[in-house]
Amino acid sequence: MSAPAPRRTPKHLNASYLAEGEGLLRETLGTPWFYLPGPVLALFVALVLDYSALTLRFSGFPAVPGLTWAFGRLPTFGAYAPANYLSLLFTALTILAVLWLGVRYLRWVSTVYAVTTSRVLIQRGILSRDFDQIPISQVRGIDVHQTIFDRLFRYGTIVVSSEGGNRLTRLGNEAWNGIPNPFDLQRVIETATQTLARSNAAPPVAPVAAAAPSPSPDPARPGPA
């Protein structure tokens, strides 16, 4: 198995995190299929409810089958008809859904997973940043978990187990969720650990022993007649 060629120009990772001579093997963001479907669905539902409340106030809007009729049968609270308090409620829900979508989007674009020739890295944050790492020499296992939904959209969860963990960070003790093509990243990490292990296990070159000097002739012994 050949390792991918290292490169020195990260697309997402802060280049200053790479040490001199350290090659970048792989970097990736999580997949939007993990971060965005929930808030997008919530926003869509909130907008439908918003529109349904508007159809009670403006008869010229086409009614939403079922919803407009059901909302119109709700009781009136004092001076507030169903169209009034439902519009306030659904507008608040829409604002919350937009905020949730914004938070999830920022978390998606600000979390970078990277593998170098010597480390496994996670970079989080936009204004303030957290940076966690595991030396490749301490990686002891890489597990991949996929649900049916994960397999359908080709992403999964990777758990990297490390030697002794890291007391200052959670790296090595948490799951990396929403990793696209997780088995590719698993192979990159395994190849990096095997490459480092082979380089550390290379036997040292033994020094060449000096040739023994040949014995000098004894001057006291007479030579042949």
User: How much is the pTM?
Assistant: 0.77
Q: Is the pLDDT of residue 188 over 70?
A: yes
pLDDT value at residue 100? 97
Q: How far is CA 59 from the centre of its chain?
A: 49
Angle between helices 37-57 and 82-110 (to 10 degrees): 160
CA dist., res. 177 & res. 157, Å (int)? 5
Q: What is the 3-state secondary structure of 31-100? A: CHHHHCHHHHHHHHHHHHHHHHHHHHHCCCCCCCCCHHHHHHCCCCECCECHHHHHHHHHHHHHHHHHHH
**Among candidate residues 144, 187, 148, the one with its CA nearest the CA of residue 4:** 187
Per-domain boundaries in the chain: 37-107, 112-200
Q: Is the pLDDT of residue 8 over 90?
A: no
Q: Give 182's DSSP letter.
A: H
Topology of domain 112-200 in CATH is PH-domain like (2.30.29)
User: Strands 176-180 and 119-124: what pairing?
Assistant: unpaired
Average pLDDT, the chain: 84
Structure-token pair, residue 10 = 């990260």
pLDDT tens sequence across 23-65: 999 999 999 999 999 999 999 999 999 999 999 888 888 999 9
Q: Is the pLDDT of residue 2 over 70?
A: no
Mean pLDDT of the 195-222 span: 64
pLDDT tens sequence across 93-134: 999 999 999 999 999 999 999 999 999 999 998 888 888 888
